[in-house]
Amino acid sequence: MTAIHAPITVHYRSTEVDGVDLFYREAGPADGPVVLLLHGFPTSSHMFRNLIPLLADRYRVIAPDYPGFGQSAAPDRASFSYGFGHFADLVDGLLGKLGAKSYAMYVMDYGAPVGYRLALKHPERVSGLIVQNGNAYEEGLGAFWDEIKAYWASGSAERRQVLADQVTLEAIKFQYTDGVRDVTRISPDNWVHDQALLDRPGNREIQLDLFYDYRTNVQLYPQIQAFFRDRRPPTLIVWGENDQIFAAAGAHAYLRDLPDAELHLLDTGHFALEDKLDEIAPLIHDFLDRKIAGR
């Protein structure tokens, strides 16, 4: 008879960190090496719903939602600072509460600046990097960023309003489908789920605040690149090469500072997990087994 393996149980939890209720998904053995999954815009830990069970056989997988995203609290922006540095501090606090003293990080989109700020705070804690369309180089910022850069330069209300188009259903669907060869592999639940959360009162302005704060991540690129050179963490890069948001040139740029990184360019777009999970998950598990499990 063929053995039937019990499905992995994923736990859905919340805890308070510095007065903010943070939601996170957790699965896998409590004593397993930690894999921290850091989501992008405009989604949440929901983007990892299919990956988590595939890693949690021997790894302790933790996937938080940032404030204003997913199931985490969304404090009023009048009294709460929405920025990537603050997000990194809160994730750091969450990991402290969970006793995670060492972790490999999967960084995607917004997850890259959150994770790399965490790495700058605690470089010794980073056991490895899995980079999926998570940028750390100017080369990755193509024409898509022109209007955002114009907003960074002026900070004007007019430039801010132009970017409001980026939090519409059409724009969110584009992020999931652009560059994908077979869109029937992409569940429409993705953009419906994300848009419902973006449409919460006050959330659009939160997202526009984060668009402006993103400029501070670019300012940190030299420090982040120095971290790569100095620490040489084992690194796997799995990148949707058709991504217009973070161009494939940004994937290649990592090799300047991490020449031993394993680079895989995939024929897909921004949210590569949605249609290339069958290719990405084995690459990640193999990487973790070789580079992380025995450390």
Neighbours of 295 (CB within 10 A): 10
pLDDT of 205 reads 97
DSSP 54-109: HHTTTSEEEEEPPTTSTTS----TTTS---HHHHHHHHHHHHHHHT--SEEEEE-T
Mean pLDDT per 10-residue segment, the chain (295 residues): 71 98 98 98 98 97 98 97 98 98 98 98 98 98 97 97 96 98 97 97 97 98 98 98 98 98 98 98 98 83
How many CA atoms within 13 Å lie on the side-chain side of 45?
Answer: 25
- The pLDDT value recorded for residue 7 is 83
Q: Note if 86 is an active site residue.
A: no
The predicted pLDDT at position 4 comes to 53
Provide the token pair at 156.
């004007």
Cis peptide leading into residue 234 (ω within 30°): no
Q: Which of 11, 39, 270, 285 is catalytic?
A: 270
Q: Is the pTM of this model over 0.95?
A: yes
Rounded CA separation 74/201 (Å):
10
